[in-house]
Amino acid sequence: MTDAPVTLEKLRADIAAMLEEAPAAIGDDDNLMDFGLDSMRAMNLLLQWEEEGVPLDFGDIAETPTLSGLWALVQARQQGASS
């Protein structure tokens, strides 16, 4: 677990790397499933983020399959963890 908060740019970069896309190609409101984020890739990202102190689960990605949706969840959970 790291002490540094996860940023929107890091989320975008992690997702882009998993999908073999340029980070700039992924817009905040693009559906990540349309980019090829399948369940196996999503689980790998979730494990990576959990190790970095961001507790998300597969339901979070299924319900909010956009970068902006995930970012809102990450922000809320990071703020809750620091309170």
Instruction: Categorize the per-residue pLDDT at 54 as very low, low, confident or very high, splitting at 50, 70 and 90.
Output: confident
Q: Which residue has the higher pLDDT, 80 or 57?
A: 57
Dmax of the chain from CA atoms? 36
DSSP secondary structure letter of residue 6: P
Q: Has residue 82 got a pLDDT over 90?
A: no
Confidence band, pLDDT 50/70/90 cuts, at residue 77: confident
pLDDT given at position 38: 95
pTM: 0.87
Q: What is the mean pLDDT of the chain?
A: 90
Contact between 26 and 15 (Cβ < 8 Å): yes
48: which 2 tokens? 């990576």
Q: What is the mean pLDDT of residues 47-60?
A: 89
Domain 1-59 has CATH 1.10.150: no
Q: Where are the domains of the chain?
A: 1-59
